[in-house]
Amino acid sequence: MKKVSLTIDGKEISASEHATLLQAARDAGIQIPTLCHDDRLAPYGSCRLCSVEITSGKKAKIVASCVYPVENGLVVETMSPRIVKIRRVILELLQASSPKGRVEELSKVYGTSTDKFEKELTFCILCGLCVRYCSEVKKAHALGFIGRGIEKQVVFFPEIALKSCPGCEGECFSLCPTGILPNKFAQSVPSFGKVQPTVFPVRLWDEDNFLNLTRNIT
Amino acid sequence: MAKKIRSPEELLQFRKKVVAFKEAVKTRIIVSGGTCCLAKGSKRIFELFREELDRQNIAAGVELKSSGCHSFCENEVIVLILPEEICYMRVRAEDVKEIVSRTIIKKEIMERLLYKDPLTGEQFIKEGEIPFYKHQSQIVFGNNRFIDPKNIEDYIASGGYEALVKALQTMTPEEVITEVKKANIRGRGGGGFPAGSKWETTRNAPNNPKYVVVNCDEGDPGAYMDRALMEGNPHSVLEGLIISGYAIGAQEGFIYIRQEYPLATENTLHAINQAREYGFLGENILGSTFNFDVEVHRGAGAFVTGESSALMSAIEGRVGQPRPKYIRTAVSGIWGKPSNLNNVETLANVPLVINKGADWYSSIGTENSKGTKIFSLVGNVNNTGLVEVPMGTTIREIVYDIGGGIPGGRQFKAVQIGGPSGGCIPSQFLDMPIDYDEFTKVGAMMGSGGMIVMDEDTCMVDVARYFLDFLSDESCGKCVPCREGIRQLHKILMKIVRGDGEEGDIALLEDLSEVISAASLCALGQTAANPVLTAIKYFREEFLAHINEKRCPTKVCQGLVSYFIQPDRCQGCTACLKNCPSGAIDGGKGLIHVIIQEKCVKCGICFEVCPDRYRAVEKLSGGPVPPVPADREITRRRVER
């Protein structure tokens, strides 16, 4: 396999030509924070927390390291002032919708303020780990996205979930970086088989829908 | 079934035959038939013409046809009578009989249907004399009015498919690309990327097969030039697409048409079928070894699928959301294959370049922006419609010479260019030439060509809020900076227009905008902050008035406006009292009316219904509402204003 050489944070690095910047950096022991990345899944590039600054020739730009392929001679900065600002703002934005779990941990690391933006709690950051894991690894497609823009949400498709979820016992929940409702939900998974089919998709984070579903379970 | 045209000679023969047939016709009546014309009843008008011509027994000598949009949209339905070039505007069904008996038979001009300049009152008979048209140069759009989009013979008679013949017969694919590069056509859909370079990258990409795609997912608020071209002259776009397929080495093309464009879809499908019948699509096109066919893909109602990677995901049958494009779609697009995506207008320019040559084409325009650009001129302007001008024309020429200025003698404030990715260009740049790079310099962008004119009564904070409202709905929601960033930009703007703005909000908007632009996945997010940033840049004092003085200078933002009845002007006519939907007006005959502020929902109905001769209701912003007068009885006749 061909190798390419590049510089990350001043360190000369040799990486496989098919690697992403994130892989190359992690292999070299350089940590870049992520929320939507999982080595078992295809890179998705949604949280943008792994943004890094690259310089190729004279031009500098911001790219998501989890999807950007390595290039010969690339100069990468993973902690430049611009990058730190981007990560801080992303974390502050996420704190307005989903302040717990990984977001909380990283916010402490980056010392972000918790109330910069008006709160609108959804408890879901739409990283898609659960959806992609269910599709790509389990091949079950019991979860999906519906809606668009600020209305976008993760849902269970009950018809599929009824068949495939009982055998899996919530592997998707263990991936969830926000860790609120999914954990609560996960406790009831063993009895998932008793859920009555509904025609509506079930929103993962909606308290009413959640209660509806658990009521059916017990 | 039409005879297949198998060689350039056969096409030439066929064209001669069609032209001779058309020249034999003495009179031609063309009824505009674009989407907006249809809304104004043009289909019925067309049918009535047919009936009337039959009834008068003159149908044989008259060619009647329905064309696409004639671009002067606010005066639809437009009827063009050739060869006299008489142009009738705002034609309604009841005018048809008279047009036939007076103009077609007796050759009289009907003055009441002529265009009358709203400012000077001058009337014009010929279309070309009307200021709206006179100052344009419609090299791409011009044929729209003469061509029946459902009749390929019209297009062939006007020289259609000649460029395809020239390319196939006399040029290698590389030479076609060189010509397009030399002409320096830049993408008309927004980005302004040179089309020739894109074609070259796709051609040279190692993988096969390759695809060529037309982007007709136009979605900027107020923009509709692609629709008008696609439904009015689909063959011109199709010819450009076939040529691009030849140049790039693709055998398959897609036309991606937005769901909300049923007529464009219908006419395109019809054009594709006709092109197949005549042999412009299929195998061994015009006797060459080149094979090419086209499929129409209808969009599913998402603005973001106008973005190249999202559009290609949608064609693949997946959710239309953008994916990272660090490897360009020209190299890895539809199903991972090299795919070239061009906008409708870009491709409609291609036959012109091939026919007339790159030197002719690049003689039009500015140094780095060549050819013409079609804008949809809308908003607070006298003449609304589609305008095609050479690059380098100034905004002032478009707004004043073509657009006829601002209605009601009000002042020009700004023009919004480039839709939700663009920005507001204020009056100090009125003399700026239309040019990709000039627009970018002031923080806007060419975009697809929406041009919304705004007068002095427009609140720029509210305009920024409107575009963010649009974007929060249309972002695909995949990446955090775009989805959550736009949500928060929108929230902050809502707060400001409500009157709850705080010091530091402007800095927060700017800070957040910087991150959204830098870190978002696709162009939607990367440009989403432009409407906010240009509004702050050029109209900062309006933001400050909203935040610091709780005042909306244009009295648009409801949260900052109060309605008040001037006691010395109120005549106690009870019009406001009767119409107020929330019972917020206290009054009665002979009494000065008073608005109970706590009950007022600020709908503005009282303001609208107060008779013009009194004009007692006023909008206030930024100060306290004056107290209720102690004596409310109207004892004397007040002076009328």
**How far is A29 from chain B, CA to nearest CA, in Å?**
24
**How far is B304 from chain A, CA to nearest CA, in Å?**
10
**Nearest-CB residue to A46 (from B474, B479, B518):** B479
Residue of B nearest to A153 (CA): B477
pLDDT score for B341: 97
Residues 6+ apart with CB under 8 A from B160: B152, B235, B236, B239, B351
pLDDT score for A169: 67
CB neighbours (10 Å) of residue A12? 9
Indicate if B412 and B498 belong to the same structural domain.
Answer: no
Helical residues (DSSP H) of chain A, grouped into ranges: 21-27, 81-95, 101-110, 129-132, 158-164, 171-175, 181-187, 207-217
Mean pLDDT of B155-165: 95
Nearest-5° angle of CA A10, CA A13, CA A15?
150
Say what angle helices B344-356 and B162-170 make with each other, to 10 degrees: 60
Least confident piece of the model among A198-202, B126-130, B347-351: A198-202
**Domain edge (last residue) among B502, B526, B548:** B548
Indicate if B348 and B382 belong to the same structural domain.
Answer: no
Please, where in chain A does CATH 3.10.20.740 lie? Answer: 3-77
Q: Is the pLDDT of residue B406 over 60?
A: yes
Average pLDDT score, chain B: 94
Cα first-last separation, chain A: 55
Mean pLDDT of B434-458: 91
The two tokens of residue A71 are 């290039």
Q: Is the pLDDT of residue A117 over 50?
A: yes
Is A63 in CB contact (< 8 Å) with chain B? yes
Q: Is the pLDDT of residue B411 over 70?
A: yes
Q: Is the pLDDT of residue B67 over 80?
A: yes
Q: Do A86 and B518 touch (CB under 8 A)?
A: yes
Indicate if B291 and B423 belong to the same structural domain.
Answer: no
Is A86 in CB contact (< 8 Å) with chain B? yes
**Nearest-CB residue to A148 (from B302, B487, B515):** B302
Q: Is the pLDDT of residue A204 over 60?
A: no
pLDDT score for B352: 96
Q: Do A46 and B485 touch (CB under 8 A)?
A: no
Interface with chain B: mutation pick from A150, A151, A153, A155, highest number of B CBs within 10 Å: A150
**Nearest-CB residue to A152 (from B477, B511, B518):** B477
Write out the E strands in B206-258: 211-216, 252-257
Q: pLDDT grade, residue B119 (50/70/90)?
A: confident
Interface with chain B: mutation pick from A82, A93, A120, A178, highest number of B CBs within 10 Å: A93
pLDDT score for B177: 97
Choose the most confident range, by mean pLDDT, from A155-169, B166-180, B436-450.
B166-180
Query: What is the reported pTM?
Result: 0.91
**Domain edge (last residue) among B548, B567, B595:** B548
The SS3 of residue A106 is helix
Nearest-5° angle of CA B275, CA B259, CA B346?
55
Residue of A nearest to B474 (CA): A149
More confident residue, A163 or B274: B274
Q: Do A86 and B519 touch (CB under 8 A)?
A: yes
Indicate if B531 and B602 belong to the same structural domain.
Answer: no
Is B36 in CB contact (< 8 Å) with chain A? no
Q: What is the Cα A1 distance to its own chain's centre?
A: 30
Q: Is the pLDDT of residue A208 over 70?
A: no
Report the candidate in B203, B410, B219 with the shortest Cα–Cα distance to residue B310: B219
Is A137 in CB contact (< 8 Å) with chain B? no
CATH number of the domain to which B481 belongs: 1.20.1440.230
Q: pLDDT grade, residue A218 (50/70/90)?
A: very low
Least confident piece of the model among A156-160, B181-185, B286-290: A156-160
Report the candidate in B35, B447, B598, B496 with the shortest Cα–Cα distance to residue B266: B35
Q: Do B475 and A149 touch (CB under 8 A)?
A: yes
Tell me, yes or no, whether B10 lies in a domain: no
**Nearest-CB residue to B479 (from A48, A69, A151):** A48
pLDDT score for A176: 84
Q: Is the pLDDT of residue A96 over 80?
A: yes
Q: What ipTM does the predicted assembly reach?
A: 0.88
Beta carbons of B480 and A47 less than 8 angstroms apart: yes
Mean pLDDT of B170-196: 94
Average pLDDT score, chain A: 82
Q: What is the DSSP letter of B400?
A: I
Is B327 in CB contact (< 8 Å) with chain A? yes
Tell me, yes or no, whether B429 lies in a domain: yes
Indicate if B257 and B286 belong to the same structural domain.
Answer: yes
Write out the E strands in B517-610: 561-565, 585-586, 594-595
**Nearest-CB residue to A45 (from B319, B471, B521):** B521
pLDDT score for B639: 53
**How far is A216 from chain B, CA to nearest CA, in Å?**
31
**Nearest-CB residue to A93 (from B323, B477, B484):** B484
CATH number of the domain to which B62 belongs: 3.40.30.10
Q: Alpha carbon of B325 to those of A45, B72, B271: distances in Å?
A: 11, 39, 33
**Nearest-CB residue to B326 (from A69, A89, A117):** A69
Give the number of A-B residue pairs with CB atoms closer than 8 Å.
105
Mean pLDDT of B123-140: 94
**Nearest-CB residue to B477 (from A82, A116, A149):** A149
Indicate if B232 and B251 belong to the same structural domain.
Answer: yes
Q: Do B324 and A64 touch (CB under 8 A)?
A: yes
The two tokens of residue A167 are 């055998």
Q: Which residues of B touch A22 (CB under 8 A)?
A: none
Q: Domain span at residue B85?
A: 22-132
Indicate if B354 and B208 belong to the same structural domain.
Answer: yes
**Nearest-CB residue to A93 (from B324, B471, B480):** B480
Q: Do B480 and A46 touch (CB under 8 A)?
A: yes
Residue of B nearest to A43 (CA): B324
Report the candidate in A161, A154, A130 with the shortest Cα–Cα distance to residue A205: A154
Beta carbons of B560 and B497 less than 8 angstroms apart: yes
Q: Which residues of A touch B512 (CB under 8 A)?
A: 89
Q: Is the pLDDT of residue A197 over 50?
A: no
Residue of A nearest to B511 (CA): A89
Q: Is the pLDDT of residue B544 over 50?
A: yes
Interface with chain A: mutation pick from B326, B472, B475, B494, highest number of A CBs within 10 Å: B326
Q: Is the pLDDT of residue A191 over 50?
A: no
DSSP string, B325-387: -SS-TTTS-GGGS-EEEEEHHHHHHHHHHHHH-HHHHHTSB-SSSBSEEEEEEEES-SS-EEE
DSSP string, B410-474: PPEEEEEESGGGSEEEEGGGTT-B--HHHHHHTT---TT-EEEEEETT--HHHHHHHHHHHHHHH
Mean pLDDT of B189-203: 93
Q: What is the DSSP letter of B583?
A: -
Q: Is the pLDDT of residue A102 over 60?
A: yes
Q: Which residues of A touch B480 (CB under 8 A)?
A: 46-49, 90, 93-94, 125-126
Strand-pairing partners, residue B293, are B252
The two tokens of residue B245 are 């397929």
pLDDT score for B512: 97
Indicate if B580 and B541 belong to the same structural domain.
Answer: no
Q: Is the pLDDT of residue B337 over 70?
A: yes
The dihedral built from the CA positions of residue B346, B348, B353 and B356, taken in this order, carries a sign that is: negative
Helical residues (DSSP H) of B66-149, grouped into ranges: 96-98, 131-134
**How far is B599 from chain A, CA to nearest CA, in Å?**
28
The string of pLDDT tens digits covering residues B292-318 is 999 999 998 889 999 999 999 999 999
Mean pLDDT of B168-184: 96
Q: Which residues of B touch A62 (CB under 8 A)?
A: 518-519
Is A64 in CB contact (< 8 Å) with chain B? yes
Region for B499 from its dihedrals, namely left if φ exceeds 0, alpha if ψ lies in -120 to 50, beta otherwise:
left
Q: Is the pLDDT of residue A200 over 60?
A: no
Beta carbons of A76 and A52 less than 8 angstroms apart: yes
Options 3.10.20.740, 2.60.120.10, 3.20.20.70, 3.30.450.40; CATH for A3-77 is 3.10.20.740
Mean pLDDT of B239-254: 98
**How far is B479 from chain A, CA to nearest CA, in Å?**
4
Q: Which residues of A touch B327 (CB under 8 A)?
A: 69
Indicate if B525 and B466 belong to the same structural domain.
Answer: yes
pLDDT score for A194: 46
pLDDT score for B636: 57
Indicate if B436 and B343 belong to the same structural domain.
Answer: no
Q: Is the pLDDT of residue A167 over 80?
A: no
Residue of B nearest to A84 (CA): B515
Indicate if B239 and B306 belong to the same structural domain.
Answer: yes
Q: Is the pLDDT of residue B197 over 90?
A: yes
Q: Do A68 and B480 touch (CB under 8 A)?
A: no
Q: Which residues of A touch B519 (CB under 8 A)?
A: 48, 51, 62, 64, 86, 90
Q: Is the pLDDT of residue B229 over 50?
A: yes
**How far is B219 from chain A, CA to nearest CA, in Å?**
16
The string of pLDDT tens digits covering residues B548-593 is 999 999 999 999 999 999 998 999 999 999 999 999 999 988 899 9
Residue of A nearest to B320 (CA): A148
Q: Do B474 and A93 touch (CB under 8 A)?
A: no
Domains in chain B, number: 5
CATH number of the domain to which B156 belongs: 3.40.50.11540
Q: pLDDT grade, residue A207 (50/70/90)?
A: low
Indicate if B202 and B344 belong to the same structural domain.
Answer: yes
**How far is A206 from chain B, CA to nearest CA, in Å?**
18
Q: Do A48 and B477 touch (CB under 8 A)?
A: no
Q: Which residues of A touch B521 (CB under 8 A)?
A: 45-46, 48, 64
**Domain edge (last residue) among B515, B530, B548:** B548
